[in-house]
Amino acid sequence: MTTVMTALPGYVAGTWDIDAAHSDVSFSVRHLMVSKVRGRFNGVSGRVVTGDDLLDSSVTAEIDVTSFDTGNPQRDEHVRSADFLHAAQYPTMTYRSTGVRRDGDNLVVDGELTLHGITRQVALTVELTGFGPDPYGGTRAGFSATTEINRKDFGIDTELPLDGGGVVIGDTVHISLDIEAVLQNS
């Protein structure tokens, strides 16, 4: 057992299904060089396996790219188009962990993100937010994670230049995950 694991009250080793209704996959990206556009993907599924040793844990996840939502239907349709996500051809984004490690005080999940038909290594800085019972006799776990990706690394390289310099949409996408998962019964 690791010190990270023993310091977390209620830690449970097991297999957990992501509860999409209580999870959030959000992002933000620079817009017009002056602000940020924020949004989310409404469709997420996957599985987390917590090991007896926390560093032996793993995660797989699928995100429905067609569920892209910024609250602006016209913008959302444009981002789903071939100009950006090309959701008709690449309807699913996937993440598969390749390892878990400590980096100072942080817990990091290394893995492969496949987006727009391209797979790249992406590390998630993770916080285990808790383990506990739910009102239905089950057990829940919470995980938060953050990372940044460059959209161009995934072939999403549409440039929309501004007349005075700069671009409409930045290259760096900040990603934030808040995941609630339900322990599978053996």
Distance CA 171, CA 150 (A): 5
Q: Give me the CATH number covering residue 130.
A: 2.40.128.110
Considering its fold, how many domains does the chain have in total? Answer: 1
How does residue 4 score in pLDDT terms, banded at 50, 70 and 90? very low
Distance CA 27, CA 122 (A): 15
Interval 150-176: pLDDT, tens: 999 999 887 766 667 666 778 899 999
pTM: predicted TM-score of the whole model, two decimal places: 0.90
- Residue 165 belongs to domain spanning: 3-183
Distance CA 88, CA 70 (A): 18
Per DSSP bridges, beta strands 92-103 and 106-115 are antiparallel
